[in-house]
Each structure stands twice: as C-alpha cells, then as structure tokens.
Amino acid sequence: MLHIVKYPHPALRFASRPVERIDEDLKAVVREMFSLMYESRGVGLAANQVGLPFRFFVLNVTADPDQADQELVFINPEIVKRHSWEDDEEGCLSLPGLYSKVRRPKKVKVRAYNLSGQEVEFEADELFGRAMQHEIDHLDGKLFIDYLGPLARHGIKGNLRTFESEFREAQKAGAYPEDAEIIRRLKEMPAPTIAAVSGPAPADA
C-alpha cells in the first residue's frame, strides 16, 4: 500500500512532526517500510519517504532481510553529539541512481525511542553514523543533494530534471494530487496511519 516517493514529491521537503503514540498502526507501517527498503536494497528509509509526515525512520546497515537482528527503528531521533568531519559517497532511495560525495560529521551520537517506547542511544561513524544523519535530515525535509557545491550540483542537473519531469507526468496522469493538495494532506494527517499520501488516494467504495 505504501511506496517510496521520489524527488520532487513535496513530502520530501516536509518537516515531519513528532510521533506521539506507538500503536499497532505504527508497527504495521514500520514492517512495510522495512520491506520496501529491502526491495530497493537500501540501508535506511524515513517515514516521509513513504509520504508519512512523522519523525521516525528504519535502518539496517546490512540491507539484508536475513539479518533482521540488525533492524533498528528510530522514533523522534535527535543528534546529541557530533565529532569531526568526513566526505563520503551517498545515495538515496528517493533519488535512485544518483550518488555524490557529501561532507558530514564523521561520528555522531543519536538519541531516539525504539518501537517498545524505550529511550535508546547510538554512537557511530562510517555507514551507520552517516545513515542516521541522512535519515534525520529527511525528517527535517533535507536531502543529500542540498549539501553539494555549485560544480557537483551542476553535474546532477540533468538527473534532477529527469526526476522532475517524471513526477510531473505522474501527477498529470493522476497518480498524485497537485503539490498544494499533497501539502494540505501532509499538514492535516492526524497520526501515523496507513492512509499515506505516497500514492493514489484509496477509491471511495
């Protein structure tokens, strides 16, 4: 029912709201997000990437569904510490096929709640540390392409134009409402619910 939205879907620029309640709906959404992430061979997926404007993301640095013990859910995450800097390559399931070097803190400490509602803390560098930062950015409506300098940005102009025209075509074909309507729904969505704006609105039977 959910699907991963691609640039420039407005959900990707939406500053998500905190999760107030962990319930069965949220757990079902988390399961579905892990499946979508594995299908696309990603290591992380933020809620607004499936059209849900709430502050949580899923992560499995192995990208391997057989290593489910590595699955982590971050609810209302916050970066509480950052150490030094590093450039490394990044990609994003909402900008498939696009990769670029991004400068970020090398190591971060992140505080969040897990799916049992317990407070958890992770301090990590490398892929784990970078992925947590990338996903938290999503929740703030930020994308990795925002960090690129003018030259690197110029280099991906064509890719962005392609994503843009594909999305506008999908809107024209009725797969998505107009931007203003998507934003209205994002603002009004009361709580994590499976009725996301990631795809066509369910037909009223």
Catalytic residues: 135
* Burial bucket for residue 163 (CB in 10 Å: 0-12, 13-18, 19+): buried
State the minimum distance, in angstroms, from the CB of residue 133 to Zn ion: 11
Q: Which stretch binds Zn ion (CB under 5 A): 88-96, 97-105, 149-157, 195-203?
A: 88-96
Q: Which is nearer to Zn ion, 22 or 93 (CB)?
A: 93
* Burial bucket for residue 3 (CB in 10 Å: 0-12, 13-18, 19+): middle
* Burial bucket for residue 21 (CB in 10 Å: 0-12, 13-18, 19+): exposed
State the minimum distance, in angstroms, from the CB of residue 21 to Zn ion: 25
Q: x/- contact string, 19-58, with Zn ion (CB under 5 A)?
A: ----------------------------------------
Distance of alpha carbon 3 from alpha carbon 144, whole angstroms: 20
State the minimum distance, in angstroms, from the CB of residue 116 to Zn ion: 25
Contact 203, 43 (CB under 8 A): no
| Interface with Zn ion (CB under 5 A), residue from 92, 112, 145, 197 | 92
Q: Which stretch binds Zn ion (CB under 5 A): 33-41, 80-88, 89-97, 172-180?
A: 89-97
What is the β-pairing status of strands 72-90 and 56-59?
Answer: antiparallel
State the minimum distance, in angstroms, from the CB of residue 95 to Zn ion: 7
Contact positions vs Zn ion (CB under 5 A)? 92
